[in-house]
Amino acid sequence: MSVYNQANQGAAIANPLTMPNGAPSPADEQGRYTAAAVIGGQPTVPQGDGGCSLPQVDAADFDGVGGNEGLWILTREPTPPASLVEEMKAELLSLGISVANMLDVSQEGCSYEGYDIKAVCSTLDDGLLVEQAGRTAAQKQAGAPEQAGPPDADTKDTRAAAAKDAFATVDKSGDGKVSMPEAKKALEAAFPKLGKYVAKAFLASDDDGSFYLDREEYEAVHGCLASFAAVDTSADGKVSAMEAKAALAAEFAAVTIPTTFFLTSDADGDFYLSLPELVGLRQSVAAYADADKSGDGKVSMPEAKKLLVARFPRRANTVAEFFLAADETKDFYLSLVEFSSLMRTFASFTKADRSGDGKVSLPEAKKAVANDFGEGPLKKLTALFMEYDGKGGDFYLQPKEYYALHKALAA
């Protein structure tokens, strides 16, 4: 949950946050912060509760990245106890920061589609219920020989049990946490072919930035690596299109996944999927399966609209235009490839259109493109922007125009 200054607009914050002036934040029994506050500048405007707030920022100037742009209280839980919010407000007020204009921002139904929240390991082990006969994922990675007798099923449950056992082994002090060097050593020993992913997975799961993982965090990292290893049946530390297709077909039997679709997730063009690429691929297929409520293997406009409006309720008026732009076959249905392109571009447009006017300016497009594709395309972006600005040259990109630009950059 975030609570923000009434004079300003809310924004998603993904960086570690602390109380102003080093004030302590409430912690749980494991020593992790349960809430944090962040303010976008120096409060100077007196308010009726005795504190001061930030100067008001016009909606057109708000970019959500700092500079007198709001006050937030953030909590681990989407719906925190009222007592926790009140405790944070009292702490802020004691520091001279007004809480008089703060509003509750409901997180109900939020999926945060398009935002990189623990993008490395947050979702992989939720699915991929692949059963591998013989060796467990960790044993395969370590090069252990085939087992004699009945095979052990390598499923989500067995991986979860293995993760619990692994944490107990690594946490030699019994204090309920493991350091980065300890975790790195243990995980690289368990998954020697996946060592290049360990540090990134660790940092993505280290919620409080302490460089320690508690049991739950460590088990998430272990389970994620084990899931990747389970899909990597050749145990070479990378996933081919056929390996990924076999795993996803088992989980999403109703979805037809063309082999060419894997190329859209192969960001570095090496014809293999890395851990982040496999996570992104599975997210795309899972979203498609979720949208296809009729189970006919394709997504209609009503199905796509229902999913998109649920995830982006303020963008309901742009769904139809995006759908028609993505429907390249003009059959009023979206294939998996078309739907995935729609989801990526729709999420990008939502982030780009900070002013909320349903169109994207050149400065907004530059920020979005840099986020999606890096700094490289920025050199030619102005020329591309003018090329795709086809609606009378109004210096804005409408949804259809933005879709065409984004797809050209992604090609």
Q: Which domains does the chain have, with CATH numbers?
A: 2-105 (no CATH), 124-284 (1.10.238), 299-410 (1.10.238)
pLDDT level of residue 156 (50, 70, 90 thresholds): low
d(CA 339, CA 291): 9
Percent of the chain with pLDDT over 90: 18
Q: Two tokens at 20? A: 């102003």
Determine which of 87-91, 255-259, 287-291 has the lowest per-residue pLDDT on average: 255-259
End-to-end CA distance of the chain: 37
Across 4-13, 55-64, 324-333, which has the greatest mean pLDDT? 324-333
Q: What is the pLDDT of residue 109?
A: 52
Q: What is the pLDDT of residue 356?
A: 82
Fill in the amino acid letter for 299: V
In this model, does residue 120 exceed pLDDT 80? no
d(CA 403, CA 406): 5
Beta bridge partners of 36: 74
H helix and E strand count, the chain? 15, 10
Q: What is the pLDDT of residue 276?
A: 80
Q: What is the pLDDT of residue 256?
A: 85
What's the whole-number mean pLDDT along residues 128-141?
Answer: 38
What's the whole-number mean pLDDT along residues 196-222?
Answer: 83
Q: What is the pLDDT of residue 32?
A: 57
Q: Report which DSSP code applies to 348.
A: H
**Rounded to 5 degrees, what are φ and ψ at 52?**
-120, 150
d(CA 33, CA 209): 10
Q: Two tokens at 28? A: 């749980």
pLDDT level of residue 26 (50, 70, 90 thresholds): low
Q: What is the pLDDT of residue 267?
A: 73
Q: Report which DSSP code applies to 339.
A: H
Q: What is the pLDDT of residue 264?
A: 78
pLDDT level of residue 387 (50, 70, 90 thresholds): very high
pLDDT level of residue 390 (50, 70, 90 thresholds): confident
What's the whole-number mean pLDDT along residues 262-271?
Answer: 81
Q: How many Cβ atoms sit within 10 Å of the Cβ of residue 239?
A: 24
Determine which of 67-71, 107-111, 242-246 has the lowest per-residue pLDDT on average: 107-111
| 3-state SS, one letter per residue, for 61-88 | HCCCCCCCCCEEEEECCCCCCHHHHHHH
Across 126-135, 147-156, 232-241, which has the greatest mean pLDDT? 232-241
Q: What is the pLDDT of residue 5?
A: 37
What's the whole-number mean pLDDT along residues 190-197?
Answer: 89
What's the whole-number mean pLDDT along residues 243-261?
Answer: 86
What is the residue-averaged pLDDT of the chain? 77
Q: What is the pLDDT of residue 360?
A: 93
> Taking the model in full, what pTM does it have?
0.60
Determine which of 119-123, 234-238, 243-247, 336-340 has the lowest per-residue pLDDT on average: 119-123
Give the HSE-up count for residue 40: Cα atoms under 13 Å, Cβ half-sphere.
Answer: 25
Between residues 119 and 328, which one has the greater pLDDT?
328
What's the whole-number mean pLDDT along residues 87-116?
Answer: 74
pLDDT tens profile 270-314 = 889 888 888 888 888 888 998 998 888 889 999 999 988 888 887
- DSSP E strands, 169-309: 177-179, 212-214, 299-300
pLDDT level of residue 157 (50, 70, 90 thresholds): low
pLDDT tens profile 362-378 = 999 999 888 888 888 88
| 3-state SS, one letter per residue, for 361-410 | CHHHHHHHHHHHHCCCCHHHHHHHHHHHCCCCCCCCECHHHHHHHHHHHH
Asked if 317 and 328 touch (Cβ cutoff 8 Å), the reply is no
